[in-house]
Structure 1
Amino acid sequence: CRPGPADIVFIVDTSSSLETSANRSLDFITEFIKRIPIGPDDFQVGVITYDFEANVLFDLDDHNTSSSMIAELQRIKGEDSATYTLPALQKAKEMITNSSMGARRTSSYMILLYDGLSTDRNNAVNEAKLINSIGGRIITAAVGQSISYSELLSISEKQYYTFSTSFLDDMLNYIYKETVPDNCT
């Protein structure tokens, strides 16, 4: 028995509050990708960056190897901008529900790497509630110097979906546990 398949969308804050932490987010995503099986029958990964607006770096089905994903991650740079989380969540919801962006009928996760300090906090929390109400899974991962854990928790809505980037193993184990078939012992 092995975990998967699942679609995972990383949402990376590249605004000015995290401009210097962009490398920490890249390191986290790189380590995560190295530890999971990648492919159409395993895990698929998409990446969205955001500041004032959300931009798709790559869709869920754009890469079949971890090495090609990791190479493309190097394009992520921090920007001097505000943190508008709402459009990023909307874009991620579109990615996990749209087959033209690689979505499959399988478990899906959004992993939001940010400091919990959204410029549009109320709108972001309302969108997260909508996503969670339709079965979406939003995992928040704290990155940065000043962290608002209350917003991280409001977005994920579950304490066990709220992490620090220092706890990569815990996050991976949780996703593995949720994606292993029920008949495995």
Structure 2
Amino acid sequence: MEQKEMIVFYSIIITSLLTKVIIGVKGSDNWEEHNGKLYAVLKDQQGAIKETWEKAVVMCDKEDAILFSPTVHMNIWNIDFLRRNGIKNGWIGINDKCIEGNWIWADGSPVYKTDMNWGKNQPDNDKGMENCGHLHQNSAWNDLPCNEQSVKLPVICQKYCRPGPADILFIVDTSTSTEGRLNRTIEIMTYIVKRLPIGSEDFQIALMKYNYHPSLVFNFVEYKSVQSVTSAFHEIHISNGPTNTVCVRNTEADIIVLLDVQKNQSSFGFQYRKTAIRKLLEGLYNDNPNVQIGMVAYSDHADYVFKLSWSNNVHSRIAAAFQVELDKVSVESNLSHTLQFVGVDAFRSSNGGRPLARKIVMIFSSLFTGYSVEIRDQILNLNQLDIEVLGVAKYHNEPISTNYTEILLDTSQLLVIPKESHTDPFDCLKAVSGMTSYYVCNDSVFQLYP
């Protein structure tokens, strides 16, 4: 079994829970990850399995997956995926069986026109019998009969990546200074655990409490079920005495926002990114008064909009951000140079940088240039300086999301504003507020229980 990652929570504010180990689907060993989802062509000893659309849906369901649901934004990847798997076409999870022309995905959600990729003169519903979709080797869509035995195509399934396995250690402050808040901490830990598969091959949970002296409440192998773990959380109680300075809460955070202003991007997308920045600033200053924010606009060169040391009035900063306009001249953005500039200058004490503050860079960009060794190298350099780099992508633009995941050090560093949300679509940016409040622990806390 592969070595498990150790994830440690120092605070009740949980910002992310992502691991780099992906569990494969039973019965299939050829799953491929792309933008947070897994894809596979179902195969047997003879190669790709070919079935009717109806049977393909059932086969994917048995794999705890759905039928392949590509969009027009995935065309380049789709073509390469079919080629890598030695197939020229395959079923996709769309149909209009209920209402002719009203195409829906296999899960019942509507297929938006902006996601469609129909071939020329398609769909044509030939002979009134074609109500299910398939994909050609050029990624164009076509409609075919759903359950005609003479029409069988390769079965392609997709599912969301499943995180794990991982060992999670909760460290809880039980000193008298937390009295009145311990129950809330237990509620949050319970909420997290109830959404995880618990077991030796999945997630294992341990709990440590501390006030003046740390102690282990239970280890990783003591409890093997969700019920037993969550019940054990109630074994912790407030203890007499102050919190030991082995773990100290820090709320200082210096954040630099990078806004791409190169001319060759849509005006709508640019305004959308400025709205996202406004939401970010409002949320950060509301959640943590100890945060400082600077902003840099860049194309082929970088210019300060405002530095960390500028006025902490959020309305003034938002007004300055909205005064930024696209370049008048068409030039290519130089993100690698901008990242280098930020690493050298933006966090200097003369510009308001604080030596003990958590340092974060957030990229708001159309990112048309795609993967670049230079950009990746600069992000690695910033990481070595303890400067975290996050990317923000707008919901429907898959190429931008793909480009981000190629340059960022981990997919958890990409914040995607969803296309649809029952609440504010910019709520994903609240994760940044969680990152600004954290605990710094002395190394001795980990030496107690090797």
Taking structure 1 as the reference length, the TM-score comes to: 0.84
In the TM superposition, 1:105-144 aligns within 5 A as: 105=355, 106-118=357-369, 121-143=372-394
Q: Deviations over 1:104-149 (max 9, x none)?
A: 1210110001133238822112111211233210001124856343
Aligned to 1:177: 434
Work out the CA distance in 1 between the residues paired with 2:290 and 2:398. 35
For 2:435, what is the secondary structure of its paired residue? helix
Q: Identity across aligned pairs (percent)? A: 15
Q: CA RMSD in A?
A: 2.7
Work out the CA distance in 1 between the residues paired with 2:291 and 2:311. 11
Aligned to 2:406: 154
Q: Which has the higher strand share?
A: 2
Greater C-alpha Rg: 2
Work out the CA distance in 1 between the residues paired with 2:322 and 2:354. 26
In the TM superposition, 1:24-173 aligns within 5 A as: 24-37=272-285, 42-79=290-327, 80-105=330-355, 106-118=357-369, 121-143=372-394, 145=397, 147-166=399-418, 168-173=426-431
Go from structure 1 to structure 2 and tell me whether the alpha carbon gap of 1:155 and 1:99 turns closer, same or farther (over 3 Å shift).
farther
One-letter amino acid of the counterpart of residue 92, structure 1:
V
Post-superposition shift, 1:162?
A: 0.6
Structure 2 unmatched ranges of 5 or more = 1-177, 179-248, 419-424, 441-450
Is this contact kept in 1: 2:257–2:293, CA < 8 A?
Answer: yes
Go from structure 1 to structure 2 and tell me whether the alpha carbon gap of 1:19 and 1:83 turns closer, same or farther (over 3 Å shift).
farther
Work out the CA distance in 2 between the residues paired with 1:121 and 1:139. 16
In the TM superposition, 1:9-24 aligns within 5 A as: 9-20=256-267, 21-24=269-272
Is this contact kept in 1: 2:307–2:352, CA < 8 A?
Answer: yes
Q: Which has the higher helix share?
A: 1
Taking structure 2 as the reference length, the TM-score comes to: 0.37
Post-superposition shift, 1:8?
A: 0.8
Work out the CA distance in 1 between the residues paired with 2:341 and 2:289. 24
Is this contact kept in 2: 1:83–1:120, CA < 8 A?
Answer: no
Go from structure 1 to structure 2 and tell me whether the alpha carbon gap of 1:154 and 1:129 turns closer, same or farther (over 3 Å shift).
farther
Go from structure 1 to structure 2 and tell me whether the alpha carbon gap of 1:32 and 1:134 turns closer, same or farther (over 3 Å shift).
same
One-letter amino acid of the counterpart of residue 348, structure 2:
N
**Runs (4+) off by over 4 Å:** 143-146
Post-superposition shift, 1:153?
A: 1.9
Structure 1 unmatched ranges of 5 or more = none
Is this contact kept in 2: 1:95–1:102, CA < 8 A?
Answer: no
Aligned residues: 181
For 2:438, what is the secondary structure of its paired residue? coil
Post-superposition shift, 1:68?
A: 0.8
Post-superposition shift, 1:49?
A: 0.7
Work out the CA distance in 1 between the residues paired with 2:304 and 2:326. 15
Answer 1 or 2: higher relative contact order, Cα 8 Å, separation at least 6: 1
